[in-house]
């Protein structure tokens, strides 16, 4: 692990413990070169996943990119960060449990849409507008109509 202060590669772990949710390991480290102290969070990855883009290009799965997409959709929305973390962890677990090394990006988008729909309607519409490439106002009307129908179905 590189030191964020001097770039030295000789760092030592001084303390290691699981995070409260158990999804990661928190490590306190010290750099042998400069003496700087810093914390890292490490996650267990069950398998190496490859994402197949619409263009056919293959890229390694990046959990942080998934989290950034969710955070952009949820910007300035009153959603508890713990709920966001649980949703992203759930999506990652679903992807890893598929047993497939390569996953189409559309599948991740659909899982993310489902998760956002249960978290926040506004974030769902924001994400849908980019994911489904809305071009006109009626595209928004369609998604809002779907949300209204879902609410009506839930109330029954």
Q: What is the pLDDT of residues 18-70, one digit of tens each?
A: 887 777 789 999 999 999 999 998 876 556 899 999 899 999 999 899 999 99
30-36 long-range contacts (CB < 8 A, ≥24 apart) are: 31/3, 31/5, 31/6, 32/8, 33/3, 33/6, 33/8, 34/3, 34/5, 34/6, 34/8, 36/3, 36/4, 36/5, 36/6
Q: Is the pLDDT of residue 137 over 70?
A: yes
* 36, 5 Cβ separation under 8 angstroms: yes
Q: Which of 70, 71, 63, 9 is nearest to 36 (CA)?
A: 9
**Could you tell me the pTM of the whole model?**
0.64
């Amino acid at each position: 692990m590189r030191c964020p202060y001097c770039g030295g590669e000789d760092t030592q772990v001084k303390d290691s413990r699981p995070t409260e949710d158990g999804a990661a390991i928190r490590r306190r480290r010290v750099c042998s070169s400069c003496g700087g102290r810093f914390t890292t969070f490490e996650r267990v990855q069950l398998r190496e996943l490859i994402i197949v883009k619409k263009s056919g290009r293959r890229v390694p799965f990046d959990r942080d990119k998934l989290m950034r997409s969710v955070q952009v959709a949820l910007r300035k929305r009153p959603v508890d960060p713990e709920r966001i973390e649980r949703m992203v962890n759930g999506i990652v677990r679903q992807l890893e449990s598929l047993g497939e090394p390569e996953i189409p990006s559309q599948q991740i988008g659909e899982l993310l849409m489902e998760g956002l729909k249960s978290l926040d309607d506004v974030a769902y519409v924001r994400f849908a507008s980019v994911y489904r490439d809305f071009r006109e106002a009626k595209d928004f009307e369609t998604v809002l109509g779907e949300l209204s129908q879902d609410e009506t179905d839930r109330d029954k």
